[in-house]
């Protein structure tokens, strides 16, 4: 019987994801393969070696313990199918963790346009860049996109949003420097509704998760939007820098409680060996990753899919 990894390979679409995960694959998957390849048994030394590998790749302790416990359970129960190895089981359990997070926070589909997406996060995570890439992605799907440049605090943030919107072929509405971000969001939603646009992407100022007044500002933006479109925003995406490893988990934990986060965008995945943080966040917080940033080009924002992620991570190519 064809093992789980063999089945996964057919789901891998394109080379971007595989290339973007190259460093994580070298740090995590290749070491897992070295220990488990062709194996049907797991001894104490193997478990210790795997634990070190997973923790070094920022998989996190809860997810690491779950993965190792499941491996040992399958060994004890002799539940391996013909042709299946512990490497297959490991990949299968990674997919299970990621799927649980996806199903816990399904993206809301509005009954009528526009779909309103709020982008939040701390400074330096690549939030405005992600905004442009998202605008391009939606545009490539024949969606008419409006960018709301509601980061009125950071110098040049509005100009950056306009540049990215122009590159993506999207419209842009901005406010004056130092102006009220909620007013920008209000005007953008009103414009999108009047023009029958499909998507509104709202850029917000980068903020530390510990700053109460800034977190309250996000709540105000949401309230203003909801007055025009009940149930909006339909998605609150927290943009995280994958290179920060466990710090990204801390940010996700706090923003998830205070900002109503429904999904994550993990940027700079191609620049780190800490892509295991995807698994840690999914296991501990049940927050789904919606997109991965795997490069600097406009096209280098990849919609996240659990099976494609596992296939790219464990690919031998």
Same domain, yes or no: 46 and 136: no
pLDDT score at 39: 74
Q: Does residue 310 lie within any of the structural domains?
A: no
pLDDT digits 0-9 by tens, 4-18: 666 665 443 446 788
The 10 Å Cβ neighbour count of residue 266 is 29
Same domain, yes or no: 86 and 199: no
pLDDT digits 0-9 by tens, 244-270: 888 888 888 888 877 789 999 999 988
State the pTM of this model: 0.89
Same domain, yes or no: 200 and 276: yes
Measured CA to CA, the distance from residue 109 to residue 154 in angstroms comes to: 31
Same domain, yes or no: 162 and 25: no
Same domain, yes or no: 36 and 181: no
Same domain, yes or no: 185 and 277: yes
Range in 75-89, 217-231, 261-275, 277-291 with the lowest mean pLDDT: 75-89
Q: Does residue 314 lie within any of the structural domains?
A: no
Q: Does residue 81 lie within any of the structural domains?
A: yes
CATH of the domain at 284: 3.40.50.300
CATH of the domain at 25: 1.20.120.140
For the chain, the DSSP string reads ---HHHHHGGG--SSHHHHHTHHHIIIIIHHHHHHHTT-S---HHHHHHHHHHHHHTT--HHHHHHHHHHHHHHHHHT-PPTT--HHHHHHHHHHHHHHHHHHHSPPP--SSSPEEEEEE--TTS-HHHHHHHHHHHHHHTT--EEEEE---SSTTHHHHHHHHHHHHT-EEEE--TT--HHHHHHHHHHHHHHHT-SEEEEE-----TT-HHHHHHHHHHHHHHHHHSTT--SEEEEEEEGGGTHHHHHHHHHHHHHS---EEEEE-GGG-S-TTHHHHHHHHH-PPEEEEE-SSSTT-EEE--HHHHHHHHH---
Residue that is written with structure tokens 């923003």 in the block: 255
pLDDT score at 13: 45
Same domain, yes or no: 12 and 149: no
Number of domains in the chain: 2
pLDDT score at 254: 82
pLDDT score at 15: 67
Q: What percent of the chain has pLDDT over 90?
A: 42
- 171 DSSP β-pair partners: 146
Q: Does residue 293 lie within any of the structural domains?
A: yes
Measured CA to CA, the distance from residue 62 to residue 112 in angstroms comes to: 40
pLDDT score at 117: 96
Same domain, yes or no: 122 and 63: no
pLDDT score at 207: 66
Q: Does residue 142 lie within any of the structural domains?
A: yes
Same domain, yes or no: 217 and 300: yes
Same domain, yes or no: 149 and 290: yes
**Residue 83 pLDDT > 70:** no
pLDDT score at 4: 65
Q: How confident is the model over 288-312, as a mean pLDDT?
A: 89
Closest by Cα among 239, 243, 268 to 252: 239
- Taking a C-beta distance cutoff of 8 angstroms, is the pair 187, 121 a contact? no
Q: How confident is the model over 184-191, as a mean pLDDT?
A: 96
Same domain, yes or no: 198 and 226: yes
**Residue 135 pLDDT > 80:** yes
Give the chain's largest Cα–Cα span.
Answer: 66
Question: Side-chain half-sphere of 247: how many Cα atoms within 13 Å?
Answer: 11
**Boundary-marking domain end, from 78, 104, 130:** 104
Pairing of strands 301-303, 289-293: antiparallel
> What rounded mean pLDDT belongs to the chain?
86
**Boundary-marking domain end, from 104, 137, 158:** 104
**pLDDT band per the 50, 70, 90 thresholds, residue 43:** confident
Q: How confident is the model over 287-314, as a mean pLDDT?
A: 89
**Residue 64 pLDDT > 70:** yes
- State both tokens at 90: 């490991």
- Taking a C-beta distance cutoff of 8 angstroms, is the pair 16, 302 a contact? yes
Provide the domain limits for residue 90.
4-104
Range in 46-50, 88-92, 112-116, 184-188 with the lowest mean pLDDT: 88-92
Residue that is written with structure tokens 């706090």 in the block: 254
Q: Does residue 133 lie within any of the structural domains?
A: yes
Q: 34 — phi, psi (to 5°)?
A: -60, -40
| Total residues belonging to the chain | 317
Same domain, yes or no: 136 and 280: yes
Measured CA to CA, the distance from residue 275 to residue 268 in angstroms comes to: 9
């Amino acid at each position: 019987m064809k093992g789980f990894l063999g089945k996964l390979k057919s789901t891998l679409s394109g080379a971007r994801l595989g290339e973007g995960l190259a460093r994580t694959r070298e740090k995590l998957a290749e070491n897992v393969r070295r220990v488990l390849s062709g194996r049907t048994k797991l001894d104490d030394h193997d478990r210790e070696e795997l634990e070190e590998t997973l923790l070094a790749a920022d998989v996190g302790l809860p997810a690491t313990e779950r993965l190792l416990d499941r491996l040992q359970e399958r060994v004890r129960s002799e539940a391996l199918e013909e042709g299946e190895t512990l490497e297959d089981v490991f990949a299968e359990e990674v997919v299970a963790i990621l799927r649980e997070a996806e199903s816990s926070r399904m993206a809301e589909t509005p009954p009528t346009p526009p779909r309103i997406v709020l982008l939040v996060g701390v400074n330096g995570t690549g939030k405005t860049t992600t905004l442009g890439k998202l605008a391009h992605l939606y545009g490539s799907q024949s969606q008419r996109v409006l960018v709301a440049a509601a980061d009125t605090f950071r110098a040049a943030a509005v100009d950056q949003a306009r540049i990215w919107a122009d590159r993506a072929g999207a419209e842009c509405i901005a406010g004056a420097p130092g102006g009220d971000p909620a007013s920008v969001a209000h005007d953008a939603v009103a414009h999108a509704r009047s023009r029958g646009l499909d998507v509104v992407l709202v850029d917000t100022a980068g903020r530390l998760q510990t700053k109460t007044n800034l977190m309250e500002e996000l709540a105000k933006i949401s309230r203003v939007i909801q007055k025009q479109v009940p149930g909006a925003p339909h998605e609150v995406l927290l943009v995280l820098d994958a290179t920060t490893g466990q710090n990204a988990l801390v940010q996700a934990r706090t923003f998830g409680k205070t900002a109503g986060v429904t999904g994550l965008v993990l940027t700079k995945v191609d620049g780190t060996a800490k892509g295991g943080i995807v698994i840690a966040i999914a296991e501990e917080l049940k927050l789904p990753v919606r997109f991965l940033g795997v490069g600097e080009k406009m096209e280098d924002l990849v919609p996240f899919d659990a099976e494609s992620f596992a296939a790219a991570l464990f690919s031998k190519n």
